[in-house]
Structure 1
């Protein structure tokens, strides 16, 4: 019965409680009139049926000539709210009033969001903006928006579905690091440490190399307002930065036996290491099994938002660059270039995080007898202080 009522509401109309009540009364009065042959009972029964007929036609007319459009959702990091904006436009010649609008969010985000619109004038749009908190990274997609009404008499419900595609990109959380020894000292030969790169950057602060259009995520302090006003669009300064030319690849082991919590910590660590290296002038890339080697901030953050454990590799790990290998085993592998590092989330059967680790075990890189610098992570402790300690 419930499925039938839902189908009727989506394709025609379904009676509300008051509608069922009046329908029952009309049947009662008609039966009484048939037994008593009283004309006034026929009049009451007929009047109720006429009201029900009108109430069944009007809700469907109210939902005609309504269009729903959705604005793009800006990417956010986990823990930040997403802003969802919908526009409902009345293309008809009459006022559309008493509408119930429901945005059917995916269940992994939250229950559907609902609002009530009192009236939309002919040819006018109605904007609905709501903010929804996020907890986990990911790319969330949904498309269905429901318009529902029982106007004007409230005796019958009518619902119509509209397609408004949505994509909410939630990047992993990025921790702010003041230092990161495992990244500062990476490489196969002695070189200038990244702290010196940072001092070089500070000494060149204020020297503009070029101006380029604003990209999402650029710091507001780098906007050149005078030039932006001249061109009518935001322009950002590119500063002269002296770096040592070091490059590094952050890689997530697809063959490791990840728990959900450990893998999420590994993704946060990858995003944090990239942010730290990028801020300090290091050429940082990201390798995952499904995406391969990617560069540029938007591509890396999108890849980290999509990455899953135990992906099937589509490309090989770069062999000519130092690697920071995020894994659950204690081995880097002989195929990795010299100067690479391991950040490990040891399983219960392996060494404890506070013990020195340098061993060989299964890994998608193969086996190795070389001793590698390893930073073991304790999942029960805060991640940021652990990434800032000496390996």
Structure 2
């Protein structure tokens, strides 16, 4: 139980009336003091009883982007026989939602109206239900052991796709090859019918000109390969790690939009994550949200192990929170092996050691561009 600001003022007023009554020996002031204290006591009792009749059901998993509210509704159920009011659900990170009033037996769906500025996973077991019903003078609280969690995705932003390598033929690829193929999206012309051509490939308007059967050809569609190596917080700074994760996620989604095959790995971990072209990226966002802060990831061993686990045909995209000797040495080694290398560093890029042979991009809190 806690007094609200109004309740605290009322308590001070009751104390003032009591002191004045002792001085003036006035029965009226004693009565006023007793009325105020009675209101506080009734409020405390009714607030405690109200909490006993309130049930809160949280969604098993909620999703939201940084600084955006989740969309999954909660259920508030009042099982008592009388209307209640002034209901709040509170998380240590902020106010979840408020309900002005509930009728007897009413069940209401409520969407939380709070947002979190940092990616991560937040658990509902820390939620408290509180009410100051009926007068708003005394607030009762009850901690709830709710199952479920809120997964806050990093806030991604528009970015260019990094340079890819290892191009392969793929239907739907957004890059054009020099060959002509039998099926595709972009019409390239016609050629004479050859053995093995399908009947449906025949281009009848051209064939009707009397030069023999002609078939349609299309531009070759290609998709490249990109591997993103993410530094999960070498310096131990949560802000730097979050900015790095946003940049990595933005690059991965830009690569997916270009139809590339993408894979990524956090330095110091064992698993390489593959992201198919044109996927919705939900699993990628979930993994980035859950990526823990891991200091000391930019070591020669971690960089070598990560590069060895990814496809040798992929272009390398290294997203770091700082540039140390291990990064410079690894980039020089990759360039010598004729790998396509892009290094994304915190802006401004001129503060870091030069990386000859590599493309250097710089990122901020909400932007990612090639360095000048």
Cα distance 1:28–1:169, how it changes in 2: closer, same or farther (>3 A)? Answer: same
Equivalence for 1:276:
254
List alignment gaps of at least 5 residues for structure 1: 1-7, 206-241, 352-356, 359-372
C-alpha distance in 1 between matches for 2:87 and 2:283: 38
Equivalence for 1:239:
none
Q: 2:10·2:36 contact (CA, 8 Å) conserved in 1?
A: no
Q: 1:292·1:316 contact (CA, 8 Å) conserved in 2?
A: no
Residues 66-105 of structure 1: pairs in structure 2 closer than 5 A: 66-71=54-59, 74-78=62-66, 80-83=68-71, 85-97=73-85, 99-105=86-92
TM-score, normalization by structure 2: 0.62
Cα distance 1:48–1:18, how it changes in 2: closer, same or farther (>3 A)? Answer: closer
Residues 290-309 of structure 1: pairs in structure 2 closer than 5 A: 290=269, 292-296=271-275, 297-307=281-291, 308=293
1:105 positional shift: 4.7
Residues 24-35 of structure 1: pairs in structure 2 closer than 5 A: 25=17
List alignment gaps of at least 5 residues for structure 2: 187-219, 276-280
C-alpha distance in 2 between matches for 1:258 and 1:48: 53
What is the RMSD computed on CA atoms of the aligned residues?
A: 4.6
Equivalence for 1:159:
141
Residues 142-291 of structure 1: pairs in structure 2 closer than 5 A: 142=124, 143-152=126-135, 156-164=138-146, 165-177=148-160, 180=162, 182-183=163-164, 186-187=165-166, 195-196=175-176, 203-204=184-185, 244=222, 246-253=224-231, 263-288=241-266, 289-290=268-269
Cα distance 1:194–1:140, how it changes in 2: closer, same or farther (>3 A)? Answer: same
1:290 positional shift: 3.6
SS of match in other structure, 2:339: coil
Q: 2:64·2:71 contact (CA, 8 Å) conserved in 1?
A: no
Q: 1:75·1:171 contact (CA, 8 Å) conserved in 2?
A: no
Equivalence for 1:324:
316
Residue deviations 1:310-341 (CA, integer Å, cap 9, x gap)? 36669942154335141433342648975341
Cα distance 1:45–1:303, how it changes in 2: closer, same or farther (>3 A)? Answer: closer
Cα distance 1:382–1:57, how it changes in 2: closer, same or farther (>3 A)? Answer: closer
Q: Does 1:18 align with 2:10?
A: yes
SS of match in other structure, 1:167: strand
Q: 1:100·1:148 contact (CA, 8 Å) conserved in 2?
A: yes
C-alpha distance in 2 between matches for 1:380 and 1:51: 55
Residue deviations 1:116-137 (CA, integer Å, cap 9, x gap)? x343122212333344456554
SS of match in other structure, 1:377: strand
1:103 positional shift: 2.3
C-alpha distance in 1 between matches for 2:176 and 2:243: 29
Equivalence for 1:129:
111
C-alpha distance in 2 between matches for 1:50 and 1:382: 55
Alignment length, in residue pairs?
Answer: 304
Cα distance 1:302–1:194, how it changes in 2: closer, same or farther (>3 A)? Answer: same
C-alpha distance in 2 between matches for 1:383 and 1:45: 61
Match of 1:58 among 46, 62, 66: 46
Q: Does 1:343 align with 2:349?
A: no
Cα distance 1:332–1:53, how it changes in 2: closer, same or farther (>3 A)? Answer: closer
C-alpha distance in 2 between matches for 1:90 and 1:259: 44
1:256 positional shift: 5.8
Q: 1:171·1:301 contact (CA, 8 Å) conserved in 2?
A: yes
Q: Which moved more, 1:24-33 or 1:277-286?
A: 24-33
1:29 positional shift: 5.3
Q: 1:16·1:155 contact (CA, 8 Å) conserved in 2?
A: yes
